[in-house]
Structures are given as structure tokens and as C-alpha cells.
Amino acid sequence: MFKINENYLKLPGSYLFSDIGRKVNAYAAENPDKKIIRLGIGDVTQPLAPAIINALHDAVEEMGNAAYFHGYAPDLGYEFLRNAIADIDYKNRGCDISADEIFISDGAKSDSGNIQEIFSSDNKIAVCDPVYPVYVDTNVMAGRTGAYDTASETFQGMIYMPCTADNNFAPEIPRETPDIIYLCFPNNPTGAAITKRNLQDWVDYANQAGAVIIYDAAYEAYISETDIPHSIYECEGSRTCAIELRSFSKNAGFTGLRLGFTVVPRELKTGDVSLHSLWARRHGTKYNGAPYIVQRAGEAVYSDKGRQQLKGQVAYYMNNASYIYEGLKSAGYTVSGGVNAPYIWLKTPKGMTSWDFFDHLLHTANVVGTPGSGFGPNGEGYFRLTAFGSYENTVEAVDRIKAL
């Protein structure tokens, strides 16, 4: 008789965005005349930049020509893309990362979910609270936690690092020593960023504790302030303690194309065993490579034209972010984020719960956001709005909220 992975049964309810989708669909079905504006899920809305479209067209032509056809991609990614990443994302920023430490994938969600496979099941995990739920759920599935406690809305055995207004939404070093620390900056969902000095403290701590930091930098393109690091490898000593995850989704609009990468420095070891070789083994065994045409599109992200066009796209979203931030602030809301990230994190008014405010906004302003409590207990009483909508919809949504 087969047995299931019972760890899956520890996971409460469905995925946050399924719950939101269900509520919004039910409201839309009952109110077909209403124009609902969605500033909930972190999906982009601007079309792919011309440099990327051109690269896709060229690569598609190649695939139709026997002389240039490409079959299986190399497991770890094409050299042309890994070299571009190593040069522009890392060497140009003074980070010592080489192309052979970069593993191309279909995005940061799979990498952030899969990376835990190379670690022992008895590792102690630390996550921010609130948090991008994938880090937690994938460790639950792998059996690294106890049961879910409905009263505290946390999993037993997991270390939660509260990120609240009191600490400026920056996690503090936990009292209990973790083995694996997930950090995401600029942060989803709070939109908070970390200074280089504070990130250096985490790197120093991880090296001293023998812990690994899994650093999710999916939103680095949105950094606007100078003392905010774009990569954890800007910190000294990070090569011995940090894995970095990156995505093409938010900086280049690849949410539907799918492309990302993980960096595992060769010095990151436990005893004689390098995590680089374990991740290479895992990637080579379970993954057959991102499509050639998508990797060519990824290469175009690093071309002069691509970089210039994408700067404009990021600026477009950040203009939305500042419209939301300023608009809600002037209406008396307590807001943060939106400066180095496309997310605005706002305190719900009058002590409403996150879900009450979700319902209130949906029903009165026909605006969809994301309840902060869906990201962890310390998200309760908060609400996330994204800057990824069109400018026109963003303006209309903010004006509707202001008019409430």
C-alpha cells in the first residue's frame, strides 16, 4: 500500500493567491458591471521590451533552421548568458562571482523551493515574518518542521524573525541559532530594503554560526538608494556562507517566459563537500535546462539596448509606487516600502484585520490587494499593494481608496 508524504498534510488551507482569486471571482460574478483593479499578485503588466522581443524572434528563426537548431540546453545554462550575468550583475559591482558559479533555471520560485533539497532534513530554518510563503512551505513539505499551530499561525520547529514597524521591517539575529537563514531584500511583501552594513552583520553572523544564507534578490532592479546592496556578494565573507537567487520576472517582465538563476560560490562548503557540487548534481539530475530562445532573450536583458529599455520599465513601475505611497500617505494611511521595491506595505485603518480590509477595499473601491496576514502572523493588520499595474489603473485605484 502506498504511503503519502504526510508533511503535506501539515500545510493549512490553500495558497494565498488562490483564496484571493476565489473571493475576487465571486465578487466579479455578482457584480459584472464593476471595474475591478487588481493590485494584489506581484505580476507585471508591461509588455516585453523591444530588445527582448527581437532576441526572441532571432532565436525562433534559428530553431527553424537545421544549421542553427538547438536541442537540450546545457543543464547549468548557456555560456553566453552566464558570462553576461557574471560580468554585468557581479563583476561590474565588484562582486567576485564567475560564470561557472551561476546556474540558469526557469525562475526564482522553483529555485527557492528546490534549494532546500541539498540540505539535511534536520537543519533548523529561520525565516522572516512576514515572508514569501515558498520558503516556509517547501521546508514543511520536506519535513523540517513540526505541526502547524493554528493559534500562533506558525510551524513548530521553525524560527520566525519578526519584521515589524518597531524594527523598521528588518529581521534581527534570532536567539536560537539557525542552520539556514532565508533573507529577501528588497523584501516581498514589506518593500523594505537592507543596508550594506546590516547585510554585512548577517554575513558575519552566518560565517560565525556555520549557517547558510539563502538570499533572494528577485527585486534588486528596484533599488534606488545608494547604500543598499544589489547582491549579497557585495559583503565581505559572503562567498563562504551565501547562496543568491535571482529572477528575470520583475526586472524584465519574464513572469510568463520564465528565467532565473542561482549563484553558489565554490567556497561554500561543509567539511570537504561543496554546495556547488551538490546543486550541480541536483540541477543536472532533475532539470533539463531553460529553453534556448528564453536564454537568448535573457542575454538581451544585458545588452545596451535592453538595459536602457528595462531601466524605463522599472522607472514606470516605480512611478506607480510613488503615486501609491504619496497618495495613501496624504490620505492619512501609515505606509512604507515603495522606494527600493515595487511593493507598498500599509497599515490597515482603524485596527481592521488584513482580510477585513481586503473585503472592504474589494466591496467599496473595487480594488484588490493582498492581506498581510497571508504572509505570516506579523503581517496581520497590514496590506500589500503592488506597483505592477498600469499607470492609469494605479491612479484610479489610489483615487478610489482616497475617496473612501
- Return the sign of the alpha-carbon dihedral for residues 233, 141, 110, 311: negative
Asked if residues 192 and 169 have their Cβ atoms less than 8 Å apart, the reply is: yes
What count of residues does the chain have? 404
What residues does 382 pair with on adjacent strands?
347
Q: Which stretch binds ligand PLP (CB under 6 A): 12-20, 107-115, 195-203, 287-295?
A: 107-115
Question: In 3D, which of 24, 36, 100 has the Cα closest to residue 365?
Answer: 36
Indicate the residue type of 5. N
Sequence-distant (6+) residues with CB within 8 A of 143 are: 5, 7, 121
Q: In whole angstroms, how close is the CB of 110 to ligand PLP at the nearest point?
A: 6
Alpha-carbon distances, residue 165 vs 139, 153, 229, 335 (angstroms): 27, 20, 22, 10
State the binding string over 129-168 for ligand PLP (x if CB under 6 A, else -).
---x------------------------------------
Q: Which stretch binds ligand PLP (CB under 6 A): 66-74, 101-109, 156-164, 356-364?
A: 101-109
Q: What is the CA radius of gyration of the chain?
A: 21
| CB-nearer residue toward ligand PLP: 188 or 378 | 188
| CB-nearer residue toward ligand PLP: 89 or 327 | 89
Instruction: Identify the residue among 145, 238, 247, 295 touching ligand PLP (CB under 6 A).
Output: 247
Q: Which stretch binds ligand PLP (CB under 6 A): 58-66, 106-114, 193-201, 379-387?
A: 106-114
Q: Is 249 a binder of ligand PLP (CB under 6 A)?
A: yes
Instruction: Identify the residue among 77, 107, 265, 369 touching ligand PLP (CB under 6 A).
Output: 107
Q: In whole angstroms, how close is the CB of 287 to ligand PLP at the nearest point?
A: 14
Size of interface with ligand PLP, in residues (CB under 6 A)? 14
Instruction: Give buried/exposed letters for 58-67 (b at 16+ CB in 10 A, else e).
Output: ebeeeeeeee
Instruction: Identify the residue among 38, 55, 102, 112 touching ligand PLP (CB under 6 A).
Output: 112
Sequence-distant (6+) residues with CB within 8 A of 360 are: 352
Q: Which stretch binds ligand PLP (CB under 6 A): 102-110, 157-165, 199-207, 285-293?
A: 102-110
Q: In whole angstroms, how close is the CB of 124 to ligand PLP at the nearest point?
A: 21
Q: Is 231 a binder of ligand PLP (CB under 6 A)?
A: no
Q: Is 367 helix (H, G, I), strand (E, B) or coil?
A: strand
Q: Is 52 a binder of ligand PLP (CB under 6 A)?
A: no
| CB-nearer residue toward ligand PLP: 365 or 385 | 385
Q: Is 320 a binder of ligand PLP (CB under 6 A)?
A: no
Question: In 3D, which of 103, 93, 119 has the Cα closest to residue 244?
Answer: 103
Asked if residues 178 and 241 have their Cβ atoms less than 8 Å apart, the reply is: no
Instruction: Identify the residue among 188, 295, 320, 370 touching ligand PLP (CB under 6 A).
Output: 188
Query: 537548431: which residue's cell?
Result: 69
Binders of ligand PLP in range 24-43 (CB under 6 A): 42
| Cell numbers linked to 22 | 476565489
Q: In whole angstroms, how close is the CB of 265 to ligand PLP at the nearest point?
A: 20
Q: Is 251 a binder of ligand PLP (CB under 6 A)?
A: no
CA separation for the pair 110, 134 (Å, rounded):
9
Could you tell me where the beta strands, DSSP code E, fall in 222-297? 242-247, 260-263, 269-270, 273-274
Q: Is 108 a binder of ligand PLP (CB under 6 A)?
A: yes
Q: Is 127 a binder of ligand PLP (CB under 6 A)?
A: no
| Chain contacts with ligand PLP (rule: CB under 6 A) | 42, 107-109, 112, 132, 184, 188, 216, 218, 247, 249, 255, 260
